[in-house]
Structure 1
C-alpha cells in the first residue's frame, strides 16, 4: 500500500523505526495486514506475522475482559465495593477504601496519581504490590477526575485471581487465549531472547539503539502481554463483532457493552483534529472520529508502542505495534488504519509528525532556576547519602559518584544535579521523567516524580 510505505518512510527518516506490525479488518475481511522492518536490527532479522510484540497497556483490555466475564458468571459486579470482594484491600483515603469499585479502578478515578517508579522496585510479588497501595497518598479527591493509574489495574487483576483461585496469566489463556486461538506470552515469565520476538529499541536524533526489556511479572495485569500479528487479528475480529468470534461468544452482549460505556471525561485534545469527545470506559478510550464512535487504547513501554481500537457501529477494528519508542508512529499508523476502515485515506500523514514535534517534550521540564546547578563536594554529599524508606516505595539509596548524587532504586540508577540548599533535580531519559529531591534539615527526604507522582512522596532516613 503506497500511503503506508510513504508514511513509514517519513517516520523512519526523521525518527528511526526498527519495524512493526499492523492489521485492519471490516465486515469479517482483512483490509490490510503487514509486518515490516526488523525484529532484530543488529541480526538483520525481519518481523513476520508470528513475531511477538510487547503490547504494554493494550493488555489492560484483557484484564477488563476477564473481569467482565466474571461479572457474567456472577462472581462480581463492576459496582460492588472492592472491600466487599477483597476485605484486606486498603487505601490511605479511608472513604475511597470503603467505596472504591472495580469500575473506579478500571476507569482511573480513584484519586491516585501514577506512582509508576515503585513498580521498578516491586517486580515479582503481585500481592505485595497491591498491599503497598495502602501507603500511596491521594493526589486528587476520590472520583474527582481522570488520573491514569497502573497499580489499580494490578489490583483489578489480583482481584480476579482472588475470586477464581487462578493467576492472571492462567485466566487470560483459559478465558481469552484458548477460545480465540491466540498466542500469549508474559513479561517476567517468558523470555523473548530465545523466541521469534521483536527486540526493543529507542531512538535519538533519528538513530535507533537497543534498550533493555522491561522485566517483572507483578505488573502484568496493567501491561505485560506479548502476542503476535496473527493473534491480534483474532482479538480485533472478536472486538469488531461485539465479543463473538466464529460463533463463539466470550462475553455477553451486555458485558461487552459495559466495557465501552464512558465513565469519566479525559481532558485535552487528540493528536488528530477529527477525533473528539474523549472519555475513559473500562480499558478503552472512547471518542468520536470523523462522526463515528470509536474505542481504542495505546500502550507504551521500553522499546514498544502499540495501539488497538475498533468502531463498534462499523464491525471494524485495527491493531498495530512498533518496536521503537519516542516516535509518532503509533498515532500516524492508527489514523491511517482508521481512515482505511472509513474509506477516507489521506494523501499524506506528515501533519501528525509535525503535531508530535510540537506537543511532545522528550527533555526535562526544569524551571530556569533548576537549570542553575552548583558543584557538590564529597564532603557536602555526606549530608545526603544513605538509605531512605517509604512503606509504599520501600528503600531508596543515594550515593556519591563522579561529583553527583546518585539514586539507586529498583532498576533505577539515576544521576542528580545539585541546586543548593538540599535540593536536587534529575532527568530519566527512557521514561522522560523529571525528578525533584528535597532533603530537609531533619535529614528526611521529599521526592517529587514529575509525570509520575504529582504529589510529593515522603521518605524517612533510616541509614
Structure 2
C-alpha cells in the first residue's frame, strides 16, 4: 500500500522588487489582550506611531476571526518577532470547544513536522563539535543502517536524509499506525524499495528523520528526546514535550479537530511515534524563543550555542521541490530541516506541520529580522498561510495582497464542486466478485508494513491492519474498498483487489495487492 504525497502550495514565494524598509519595532511595553499578550513599543507610542501598530493589531484580529470562521478553526496562536523583539504573542478561540477553554500563550499544540527543524539543528551542533560530518555515509555512524538498495545504503549521508533526497518515497504507513518502536521502524527500512536514484529528486521521507535522530542518539549517548532537551530546549527556556501521553497530561493542552463537508468535529488524538520527524508538542511561547534563536543565527543570551556558519547552512537550498500556483511565490526548495523560497522578493525560510487535527507554520525572513509562527488545533488549512502572509506584507511595508479573499474564493469553489459522486460514477455497476467471499479471506504479510487480515462476517469482508479496522465494501469485479474516514487514521477509499488462485496441491490461496488512494499525512 502507498500513501500519496500531500499536495499544497508553500506559504509564500517571489516577485523581484527592491526591498522597502521594514516597519521599525523597538523595545517593548506590553498591554493585555484577551487570551494572550499584544505588545506595542513605548517609543512608537511617544512618536505617535503606536496608533499605527494598534491599527495593525486590530486588523489582524479581524482577519484571524474571519479566517477562523471560514475554515472552522477552533483555536489559533500567533507570535511575531522582529528586529530582536517580540512584537506580538497571542491566542485566539478555543483549545477545547466543548469545554469552552481558551487558547493562551502557553497552550500546547502538536507542531508535527516543525520538529524537523529541531532534529536538523541538534545535528548541526554535533557538526560544529566535529563529532559529525554531514557528508559521511550514515553507516559510518549507524552500521546497522540497512536499505533495500545496497548501493544507496552505502552512499546515503546525513545530509541526504535531512533534505529528503534518499530515493525513498514516503512509505508513511510503516510508522503511521503508531504501534511500532523506533527500533522496529528503523529495522523496517531495509525492506522498503526506492522509487528514485539517490540525490536525483526530492521525496518527502519521514523515516529518514527517524534515522537522522538515531545518528544523534549514537553520537551523543542520549535518547533523542534527552539530546534535544539538554542541548537546545532547556538552554532556551522552552517547555517542550515529546509524546501524546505528555501532551494529554498538560493542563493547558489543545485538543484536535477536523472538518468534513464544512462541518467541524472532534478528531482522534493520534500519536506520532516517529518523534524526530514530527513528535514535538510546544506552545506559541516556546516557538517565540525558537524564532529568536534562529534569527540570531544560533546565539542565545550572549552565548553562541550554534556557529553562524552552521545556522546559515541549515537554511541553504539543497533540492528543488516544486513550483507555485501564485505569481508572488517563487519555486520551493528544501534545505536541512527547513524549506526555502522567495515571497515578493523576500527570502523566506519555513516549515509547516500537519497531522489529524493539527496545522502549524513557522516562517523566518532572515534579511528582515522577522519571524512568524502560527499554531492551530484543526487539520491543515490555509489560515496559517493567510495570517503569515498578511503579517509579512504589513511589517515589510508592502501593499497588502488579499490572501483571505483568494483562499476563500478557492475554498468556496471547492465546496460548491465537491463531488464525491464522481468517485461512485467510476464504479462499474452490476458486477460481482468472481469467487465466494470466503476465498478472499486470509492474512497477508509484508516485511516492512506488517500483517493485514481479511475476514468474513455477516456476509461482508472486514479489513484489519495493526490495530486499525473497517468493513470493506464491494466496488466492482474483484475490487473492494475501505470507507472514507475523515478524522480517523484509515487509508480512506483504499482499493483492495484480492486475486484468488489455486495452488498445485488444490486448496485455494489468495494474494493481495492494494493501492492507497488516500489523503496523506504530511506534517
| TM-score when normalising by structure 1 | 0.90
Shift of 1:99: 0.5
Partner of 1:318: 372
Partner of 1:461: none
Partner of 1:156: 212
- Cα-to-partner distance string for 1:308-365 (whole Å, 9 max, x where unaligned): 1101211111111110115321221221232233233627422123345668999879
Partner of 1:269: 324
- Cα-to-partner distance string for 1:98-150 (whole Å, 9 max, x where unaligned): 11111111111111111112213453411110110111111222222111111
Equivalents in 2 of 1:269, 1:60: separation in Å? 23
- Cα-to-partner distance string for 1:190-246 (whole Å, 9 max, x where unaligned): 1415521111111234332111112253x0111011111111101101111212232
Equivalents in 2 of 1:160, 1:120: separation in Å? 22
Task: Please say which of residues 341-350 and 311-320 is displaced more in the overlay.
Answer: 341-350
Task: Please say which of residues 432-441 and 247-256 is displaced more in the overlay.
Answer: 432-441
Equivalents in 2 of 1:279, 1:359: separation in Å? 28
Partner of 1:383: 439
Aligned residue for 1:57, secondary structure, equals: helix
Aligned residue for 2:268, secondary structure, equals: coil
Partner of 1:445: 512
Aligned residue for 1:198, secondary structure, equals: coil
Q: Is the 8 A contact 2:434 2:478 kept in 1?
A: no
Structure-2 change in CA distance of 1:406 and 1:141 (3 Å):
farther
Equivalents in 2 of 1:433, 1:409: separation in Å? 13
The reply on whether 1:259 has 2:314 as its aligned counterpart is: yes
Rg larger in structure: 2
Give the counterpart of 1:144 among 189, 200, 204. Answer: 200
Equivalents in 2 of 1:319, 1:289: separation in Å? 16
Give the counterpart of 1:89 among 116, 134, 145. Answer: 145
Residue-pair matches, total? 451
The reply on whether 1:292 has 2:351 as its aligned counterpart is: no
Aligned residue for 2:500, secondary structure, equals: coil
Shift of 1:296: 0.4
- Cα-to-partner distance string for 1:167-207 (whole Å, 9 max, x where unaligned): 11111111111111001111245141552111111123433
The reply on whether 1:228 has 2:283 as its aligned counterpart is: yes
Aligned residue for 1:86, secondary structure, equals: coil
Structure-2 change in CA distance of 1:287 and 1:423 (3 Å):
same
Q: Is the 8 A contact 2:76 2:375 kept in 1?
A: yes
Q: Is the 8 A contact 2:89 2:285 kept in 1?
A: no
Partner of 1:309: 363
Q: Is the 8 A contact 1:118 1:410 kept in 2?
A: no
Equivalents in 2 of 1:3, 1:45: separation in Å? 24
Equivalents in 1 of 2:158, 2:60: separation in Å? 39
Matches within 5 A, 1:236-255: 236-255=291-310
Structure-2 change in CA distance of 1:266 and 1:49 (3 Å):
same
Partner of 1:436: 495
Partner of 2:221: 165
Equivalents in 2 of 1:95, 1:343: separation in Å? 51
Aligned residue for 2:228, secondary structure, equals: helix
Structure-2 change in CA distance of 1:93 and 1:107 (3 Å):
same
| TM-score when normalising by structure 2 | 0.80
- Cα-to-partner distance string for 1:262-317 (whole Å, 9 max, x where unaligned): 111012315x4312121000111110111011100100011110001101211111
Structure-2 change in CA distance of 1:232 and 1:122 (3 Å):
closer
Equivalents in 2 of 1:345, 1:44: separation in Å? 37
Give the counterpart of 2:157 among 101, 105, 108. Answer: 101
Structure-2 change in CA distance of 1:6 and 1:36 (3 Å):
same
Equivalents in 1 of 2:443, 2:184: separation in Å? 21
Partner of 1:36: 92
Q: Is the 8 A contact 2:323 2:331 kept in 1?
A: no
Structure 1 residues not aligned, in runs of 5+ = 454-463
Shift of 1:94: 1.5
The reply on whether 1:340 has 2:391 as its aligned counterpart is: no
Q: Is the 8 A contact 1:72 1:252 kept in 2?
A: yes
Partner of 2:406: 351
Structure 2 residues not aligned, in runs of 5+ = 1-56, 502-509
Equivalents in 2 of 1:258, 1:374: separation in Å? 60
Equivalents in 1 of 2:76, 2:137: separation in Å? 41
Shift of 1:385: 2.2
Partner of 1:460: none
Task: Please say which of residues 274-283 and 351-360 is displaced more in the overlay.
Answer: 351-360
Q: Is the 8 A contact 1:365 1:434 kept in 2?
A: no
Equivalents in 1 of 2:184, 2:421: separation in Å? 32
Task: Please say which of residues 375-384 and 280-289 is displaced more in the overlay.
Answer: 375-384
Aligned residue for 2:143, secondary structure, equals: coil
